[in-house]
Structure 1
Amino acid sequence: MAGIWSVLLYVFGVLVGLFGILIITARTYIYWGFRECNSKASMKGKVVLVTGASAGLGKEVARDLAQRGARVIMACRNLAKANKVAEEIRKSTGSDLVEVQLLDTSSMASVRKFANSFLKNETRLDVLVLNAGIVGPASLTYTEDDHELTMATNHFGHFLLTNILLDLVKRSSPSRVVVVSSRNHQYTNGFDPDDLDNKKRPYIGSYQSYNHSKLCNVLFTKQLSHYLEGTDVACNALCPGSVMTEIFYKLPGVLWLQIIGVIVYFSGKTIAEGAQTIIHLAVAEEEANTRGEYYENCRVCPTTDQANDMGLAKKVWEKSEELVDLRAEERHY
């Protein structure tokens, strides 16, 4: 019996050691390339819209921009939670220019209701931060619009929102659109622009569905930037890095996500660190004229041929128009 316990303890020790090496290696890799937003730019007089601002990266971005004097509109689906966060931000920044509005990016009706109300009540939009996102459930799930849930939340909702608000963004120029994607956009298998809703093939699983939606974020940014040529609107996508946010534990049935969450908890960036590239693209003076780039750690990073394929970007845009039923009055490019 003592021999068995010795073997078990030895194996346990080896596993702990390997885990420790993994964590140290991951932290070294992350912090070797980490850069903060060094801009001290004031945002006084600016109107900023941040989707998914009730927690994680969106909350930190809202706090930072409120601290800089911006009027920050937190567009969130959970109003009770978002209002508590807004009050926290008001107290910590001393700003009373923080407000909450209802927006569920998985629902095209919610997007249209929010956007049309925004246009009626606002006269400018200086920075649009498309941050809301989920990793979908393990089983294939469709929304009320018959869209695959992850794609609807991460891509379709933001696609429609941006199109409806685009004329206001252009009239507010110099202005910016900041699209929160992920390095996971590089890891897509079987991406088909004609099957964004996962109707033609077996469900690819929450991991690949998430990756596909993040590729759509980058391709959307590329095509939008093409349409914005000749304007004074900066539009760029980014990966915030490995950050421990709610996304890792909102879906207890998705085991792979829980495992990654544990690793990120020990080795990843803090939320404040993860928000730096978003903030950088929203405020940094040197990024006022950049368009169609992909960023990590506050600097342009190379990405895949697929993510740079303008033909594919146009196909995704056109298919997205069809699937969200983009109306003539909602086109401003």
Structure 2
Amino acid sequence: MEQSQGRPMQGKTVLVTGATGGIGLATAQKLAAMGARLAVTGRRPDRAEAAAEELRKEGGGQVDVFTGDLSSQAEVRRLAGEILTALPRINVLVNNVGGYWNTRHDTADGLEHTFALNHLAPFLLTNLLLERLRESSPARVVTVSSNAHTSGRIDFDDLQGENSYSGARAYSQSKLANVLFTYELARLLQGSRVTANALHPGIVRTSFATEDPGAVQRVFVPLLRPLMQRAGTGAATSVRLASASELETASGAYFSRGKPRRSSKRSYDRAAAAHLWEVSAALTRLKGSR
């Protein structure tokens, strides 16, 4: 199907995780308006269906809905199977799902929740869908990180925060993991027509961190909320990376405000990125991912 000037994503299939609200929903809305066939994931069926109805009105096209808790690896694998059955093509995967928890929680797999949802979920889902992305190329993997990655450090001796836990430290570690994963994925995809980029969406006015907020979120976020970006503004870089024709071959970069930026010094540690990939593959029982 040919792309029209006003609908540049016509004929493209885009999967957006965590698209029931906030930046994820705004990203999906903008891509639907560009003509994309949308597929969205959400944890709650009612919210996922409501988001899909909004998207159908926005773009007038087909919207596939997949529901599940991506902090559970069994759920990620089930969703991946359903996605592969339903979608013959995946041109863009937007790894948007994520969150912040001030206190330590274990997932169904016995892993620390922030690391499991923010890093291991996109790591596993991307790898399970990678062959379909290759078959659909040119294709793109877009992963939502955060400027919080600049204060992050991968503690390979205590990845799960069992010895010492801080919500802020766990979050920044997971966001650094997003960037390291993206850079390693881009290196592994060299020579293919599948790209991988990460981004900082900005400080956005959403329900982020409201389930288990820390002192900073409780005290300062209400004061700063009027100054924060709307979700639609925060989605702009995700949308650009998913759709801009001039970025079709751009890969292995970190974007903020729509432009490539230098990420933290730690994010360029290739040995750490390779080790993180190996550890992540072991934690997700993923074989033959390299």
TM-score, normalised relative to structure 1: 0.82
* TM-aligned CA deviation for residue 179 of structure 1: 0.4
* TM-aligned CA deviation for residue 255 of structure 1: 2.3
- Correspondent of 1:202 among 124, 144, 164: 164
- Determine if the alignment matches structure 1 residue 67 to structure 2 residue 28: no
- Correspondent of 2:142 among 169, 175, 178: 178
Aligned residues: 286
Alignment of 1:51-90 (within 5 A): 51-90=17-56
Query: What is the match of residue 117 of structure 1?
Result: 82
Q: For 1:163, give the aligned amino acid.
A: N
Q: Is the contact made by 1:73 and 1:99 (CA closer than 8 Å) also made in structure 2? A: yes
Query: What is the match of residue 183 of structure 2?
Result: 222
Q: Are the structure 2 counterparts of residues 120 and 82 from structure 1 closer, same or farther at C-alpha, using a change threshold of 3 Å?
A: closer
Query: What is the match of residue 35 of structure 1?
Result: none
Q: Is the contact made by 1:248 and 1:257 (CA closer than 8 Å) also made in structure 2? A: yes
TM-score, normalised relative to structure 2: 0.94
Output the CA distance in 1 between the equivalents of 2:112 and 2:45: 24
The list of structure 1 runs, each at least 4 consecutive aligned residues, that deviate by more than 3 angstroms after superposition, is none
Output the CA distance in 1 between the equivalents of 2:209 and 2:126: 27
* TM-aligned CA deviation for residue 196 of structure 1: 2.0
Q: Is the contact made by 1:244 and 1:264 (CA closer than 8 Å) also made in structure 2? A: no
* TM-aligned CA deviation for residue 228 of structure 1: 0.2
Uncovered stretches (5+) of structure 2, i.e. residues with no partner:
none
Per-residue displacement from partner, 1:9-33 (whole Å, max 9, x unpaired)? xxxxxxxxxxxxxxxxxxxxxxxxx
Q: Are the structure 2 counterparts of residues 65 and 228 from structure 1 closer, same or farther at C-alpha, using a change threshold of 3 Å?
A: same
Q: Is the contact made by 1:49 and 1:72 (CA closer than 8 Å) also made in structure 2? A: yes
Q: State the structure with more CA Rg.
A: 1
Q: Which has the higher contact order (CA 8 A, sep 6+)?
A: 1
Q: Is the contact made by 1:41 and 1:285 (CA closer than 8 Å) also made in structure 2? A: no
Q: Is the contact made by 1:60 and 1:272 (CA closer than 8 Å) also made in structure 2? A: yes
Output the CA distance in 1 between the equivalents of 2:219 and 2:277: 34
Q: For 2:70, give the aligned amino acid.
A: T
Output the CA distance in 2 between the equivalents of 1:313 and 1:94: 38
Per-residue displacement from partner, 1:60-117 (whole Å, max 9, x unpaired)? 11111111111101111111011112212222x2513123111322000000001012
Q: For 1:148, give the aligned amino acid.
A: E
* TM-aligned CA deviation for residue 303 of structure 1: 1.6
* Identity among equivalent pairs (%): 37
Q: For 2:115, give the aligned amino acid.
A: M
Secondary structure in 1 matching 2:208:
helix
Secondary structure in 1 matching 2:108:
coil
Q: For 2:161, give the aligned amino acid.
A: N
Q: Are the structure 2 counterparts of residues 80 and 325 from structure 1 closer, same or farther at C-alpha, using a change threshold of 3 Å?
A: same
Q: Are the structure 2 counterparts of residues 42 and 181 from structure 1 closer, same or farther at C-alpha, using a change threshold of 3 Å?
A: same
Secondary structure in 1 matching 2:279:
helix
CA RMSD of aligned residues (A): 1.6
Q: For 2:216, give the aligned amino acid.
A: W
- Determine if the alignment matches structure 1 residue 239 to structure 2 residue 200: yes
Alignment of 1:235-274 (within 5 A): 235-252=196-213, 254-274=214-234
Per-residue displacement from partner, 1:122-168 (whole Å, max 9, x unpaired)? 211000000001101x3221111011000111110110000110011
Query: What is the match of residue 211 of structure 1?
Result: 172
Q: Are the structure 2 counterparts of residues 288 and 94 from structure 1 closer, same or farther at C-alpha, using a change threshold of 3 Å?
A: closer
Secondary structure in 1 matching 2:216:
helix
